[in-house]
Amino acid sequence: MKTDQPLLESFVLGDITLKNRVVMAPMTRSRADNAGNVPTDLHVKYYTQRAGAGLIITEGSQVSKRAVGYIHTAGIHTAEQIEGWKKVVDAVHAEDGKIFIQLWHVGRMSHPDFHNGDKPLAPSSVNPNAQAYTSDGFKDTVAPKEMTLAEIEETQQEFVDAAKNALEAGFDGIEIHSSNGYLFHQFFNKKANLRTDNYGGNIENRVRFFFETLDKVKEVVPENKIGIRLNPSLNGVFGIEATEDTIPTFDHIIERLNNYDLSYLHLSEPFTDVSEIDFLETEIAKRYRPIYKGNLMINGGFTQEKGNEVIKEGNADLVAFGKLYISNPDLAERFAINAPMAEWDNDTFYSQGAKGYIDYPTYAEEAQEA
């Protein structure tokens, strides 16, 4: 459908058709049952309220118990978790929505509290000097355990199993979380990955874990149902310190991804100030649109106007919105009538319960209350 807003045009993504190009970005919201990391009825309502998006990408969902790094996050590695997510998927599909699940392993961005006192896994024993959100509040991270070759292979199998579980739950596809300082990103980064074997050193070795995992996952999930999330210009947060070879590393990754028939590549514009770091790119969509030949999704502080502009300029095919989707469950519908945006409440981003999660009204409900 042609409209005066590119964001509202339909889009063919693999073997599904999106009703618009507005994507709900993956966002940790800490509402799962903490005993078993199971999605609840709150998740069902939260995602169903936002089924007007062309595509929903769920919050990061850990692929195993040892992948977890935050409290109240929903996993995709037990029967109970699969059943919880199935309720979400069925409800979203009943509203003519499409939904992918984001597969997640936090690596060193965890804490021994989550692992019976054991250190979290990572490419190397390098403390990110960050904080993990535990049941006792925020705690300083520790130097993690360097993964053995056996643990690398086991972790890859965890992603494969999680991908199978996602299909069992009925998801339209999966997104592999390879950004924001989590496990795959740690392997990419020279300051986090000090290995001297085939998984460390030069760029080819540092991306090996990622591509081996992708190759294994695509054996159980069609390539056109797989999305990849990357953050090329992350610096100074989530334990990641950029270096001169950061952008060349992501150039290499993204060029190689052209060899796959992926659903999409999901890139983040810088959400920290990198304007004075001469070796970091500050306009990610513009840099990688000429390099990547598949469907390109971009996110990072986009407004309705900027979202329409980046598609119109040909620098992206889809735009993911985060915080705007927290406070505007009917975001695409608001775009259609150029309605004002509701403000979000930072204090309830990671709290538990309904407040700040499922109690934001639609624009129509706001009008009725006025």
The residues annotated with a catalytic role in the active site are 182
For residue 28, what are the contacts with CB-CB under 8 A and spacing of at least 6? Answer: 59, 60, 70, 73, 350
Q: How would you write 55-108 as a 3-class SS string? A: EEEEEEEECCHHHCCECCCCCCCCHHHHHHHHHHHHHHHHCCCCEEEEEECCCC
What amino acid occupies position 112?
A: P
The angle subtended at Cα 222 by Cα 261 and Cα 311, nearest 5°, is: 45
